[in-house]
Structure 1
């Protein structure tokens, strides 16, 4: 399935998740090589009110979301001639197996972009590398995620 055909399908599933809406996430870039998920600063995302930085759970969740979208798109992108109902059934079975987040700097900024790329995609499992940067390009965190995709 082509990337352009996958985008509406994955976007619909992404937009239906209340947690993604709570964080203010939106897919800002989508290709077969890379996914970017963006969000703006919000006082509701503060982890340390004295330093005015993002909560670590927000950072990890955003990295997981970007990696999950990339893993799903890599797995579904290999499928051809599949009906939307089967795609939906497959999507419902995909999940995070493991995620590691390394916090490099405090999460300061006005807007943020999490990017993800596939390291390996097999029949059952995909592994992605994720990064989070602020609007100035400051590298805030990196992550590696393992996803059940088959």
Structure 2
């Protein structure tokens, strides 16, 4: 199976077939074994603090978790040689978040938000990622560390 096509297919699936992520409006911009990135736009439905008009903390955490999971999966796919699409789907169905830490640095204000992740460690069973969320004006809103089951 072609690695680039697998990465493209998984990226499309994550962006289009997971209802919660689609509802949040996440757009996957980079899906690479070393670095992933997604973006989303401000909508009032994502507001957590109405008087201050700031992003809901759960949206922040979800963006960080999603991009961390993406880089963990991309890193796993770099080493995994599936014999069939069925084998690939079976492996992907076992992936999930083990642990997530989010540190909120500033209120989430902006028109567009970008979440990025880099891989810290990628093993046969577990991957660890470092994530950041920035607003379109360059403010560092939050960072996180995620541990993901990948095998």
1:132-143 equivalences in 2 (<5 Å): 132-143=133-144
Give unmatched runs, 5+ long, in structure 2.
none
Q: Which runs of 5+ in 1 are unaligned?
A: none
Give 1:36's aligned residue: 37
- TM-score (norm. length: structure 1): 0.95
| C-alpha contact (below 8 Å) 2:105/2:140 kept by paired residues | yes
Q: Is the 8 A contact 1:3 1:31 kept in 2?
A: no
Partner residue of 1:6?
6
For 2:3 and 2:57, the matched residues in 1 are separated by 31
Query: Shift of residue 80 of structure 1?
Result: 2.2
Q: Is the 8 A contact 1:37 1:115 kept in 2?
A: yes
What's the Cα RMSD here? 1.3
The alpha-carbon deviation at position 13 of structure 1 amounts to 2.6
Query: Which whole-Å CA distance do the structure 2 matches of 1:122 and 1:33 have between them?
Result: 13
Deviation of the 1:81 alpha carbon: 5.0
Q: Size of the alignment, in residue pairs? A: 150
Please state how far the C-alpha of 1:6 moved relative to its aligned partner: 2.8
1:149: which partner in 2? Answer: 150
Q: How much has 1:43 moved relative to structure 2?
A: 0.3
1:3 Cα deviation (Å)? 5.2
Residue 3 of structure 1 contacts residue 32 of structure 1 at CA under 8 Å; is this kept in 2?
no
CA contact (8 A) 2:114 2:136 kept: yes
